[in-house]
Structures are given as C-alpha cells and as structure tokens.
Amino acid sequence: MRFLILGNASKPQAVETAQLLHAVLADHGTVVLTDLHQEKDLSQVEADLALVLGGDGAILRAARQMGYRQVPVLGINLGKLGFLADLSAEDVVACLPQLLGHQYHTTQHLMFECVVESPAGTQTILGLNDVVVHTGPPFHMLDLELRIGDEAVSRFSGDGLILSTPVGSTAHSLSAGGPILGQELRVFVITPICAHTLTNRPLVDSAEKVYTISVRRGESVWLIVDGQDVFPLSMHHRVTVRQAPVHFQLVKVPGRTYYQTLRDKLRWGTTPHYRIDSNPPP
C-alpha cells in the first residue's frame, strides 16, 4: 500500500508519532509523502491511504490540501476532542493487519465549493465542514439574504449565518442550535447565529441546490471557511455554495460507528446521572 502521513506538527507528540508510524508502515508498503506542516500540494500525489495526525482541524486542512483528488483518510487524534480523528496511534498499530487486508469501511461525505465573487474577481475554495458569514468589530447586527436556486428564501438579521455539511453539523452549527445530521446525507443545513427574531430556525435542504448569501447591511463582515480561511466581505460580494464534484473519504475500522462517536465524544443520547437512593422505600 502507498501511504501519506499528514498532520499538524504543533500538536504534542505529532512528530514522534509520525516517526513511529513511518517505521511501522515501511515494512508493509511505501510512505509516499510526509507533511506535518500542511504546506505541500497533494492534488497530484498518488496514494491508497492518508494517516492524518492531530485533531479535526488537521483533517479539514488535509482534505483541502488533497483538492480534487481525495485519498481515504484515517484520523489519529492528538487533539482535545477528535470527532473525525477518533483513533489513537496505538489503535492504528493494533488494527494495522485490518488496514493492510482492506478490512475497513470507507464512508463518502459531501464537500462543497464556496465561490466568492467581487468586483476584484472570483475565488473558489474547496471545503468540508462549513461556511460562516459573521459580524466583526464593532459587532453590529448584520442583514443577510439567502437565495436557494433562483428564489430569495429568507433575510436574516443577527450575528451571522452558518451553511454546513452533515460532517460540519456537529461543529459550529450544533453550538448555534442546529441539528445533528447523518454524516453521509447529501444535504446542507442553514443555521442562523443569534437571529433577531423568534421565527428563524435551522433549515435542511438538498445539496443538489445552489445557495447564495449576500450582505444587505453590515459594517464589518467576515467569511470563514472550515474555521481556517478568513475573508472580509462587503455588500459588493456574493458568496455561492454548491456541492463539490468530489467527496471526502473517511476510513472506519470495525467497532467504531458514528453513533458510538456521538455518545463517546459529545455524550449524545446518554441517560442522566440519577442519584442512587441508599435507603429505598420498603
């Protein structure tokens, strides 16, 4: 097998873990490339599996580095939560026979293209998690218009708006009151941020549609893609989000499921910690 070792060198133990994996994998295949500084263009690299060290941010960066030639990703958690990167380095070494024997499942996940149009030109950013339009200093309320296809759907007044994929639904969107989506769905969720109304609620709609966000009022407005790329916006910009022609591929080894991760990482669906009565009634 041909391997990539990617990740975030600033995470504790990232360099040491990469060296350990490189030594172990060398006996079973070829490590085509190692990049812990997230600076190399991976769009032309041929590989069978990418091992990404760090947290979910490292995986988001790796997905964008790979561009339109996505390699299946196995996340190794060196961060705090690790929702996508849910294995330890020891787990990977233990399940190496399964990986080499292709005894794993690869899930396919929606990615998006965020197209930013302005008088200065057009820029397209590939993403996996979410697109956020948010107020900046002095943090006054924004007015944003959302169009789906050719229809003006809604106008949002508040701190901003999140347009998220199912993978991103457990991140910023969830914190803003959005729903948890099945990760392999082909939909987007639009979640207002602190909307100044009682009627605006998150909306889930098809990824087959095109979503356009325009600024109608706002002194300082920022576009954030996957929590990593930041761009200033004005009323002269138009932000269009559409599904990308490629999918993010996440490797899942036996025994690790999406609902198990929800329970373990986010404590979703668990029962309250009831007090045990030491003196139950007769």
Domains (ranges, CATH) in the chain? 2-104+253-266 (3.40.50.10330), 111-245 (2.60.200.30)
Q: Are 196 and 135 in contact (CB under 8 A)?
A: no
Whole-angstrom distance, CA of residue 124 vs CA of residue 264: 36
- 139 phi and psi angles, rounded to 5 deg: 60, 45
Instruction: Say what the pLDDT of residue 67 is.
Output: 94
Instruction: Report pLDDT for 212.
Output: 98
- Rounded to an integer, the average pLDDT of 134-160 is 95
How do residues 208-243 score in pLDDT, each as one tens digit?
999 999 999 998 999 999 999 999 999 999 999 999
Cis peptide before 179 (omega within 30 of 0): no
pLDDT in tens, 32-51: 999 999 888 888 899 999 99
Per-residue confidence (pLDDT) for residue 280, from 0 to 100: 61
Active site members: 56
Which one has a higher pLDDT value, 266 or 117? 117
Average pLDDT over residues 88-105: 82
Q: How confident is residue 107, by pLDDT bands cut at 50, 70 and 90? A: very high
Whether residue 159 is predicted with pLDDT greater than 90 in this model: the reply is yes
**CA distances to 67, 76, 135, 159, 240 from 222, in Å:** 24, 31, 6, 11, 15
Q: How many angstroms separate the CA atoms of 214 and 221, rounded? A: 11
C-alpha 82, offset from chain centre:
11
For residue range 129-143, list pLDDT tens digits in order.
999 999 999 999 999
Query: What's the burial of 147, exposed, middle or buried (CB within 10 Å: 0-12/13-18/19+)?
Result: middle
Lowest mean pLDDT among 157-171, 197-211, 252-266: 252-266
Label residue 275 by pLDDT band (50, 70, 90).
Answer: low
Kindly indicate the confidence band of residue 281, based on its pLDDT and cuts at 50, 70 and 90: low
Tell me the percentage of the chain whose pLDDT exceeds 90. Answer: 65
Q: Is 193 exposed, middle or buried (0-12, 13-18, 19+ CB in 10 A)?
A: buried
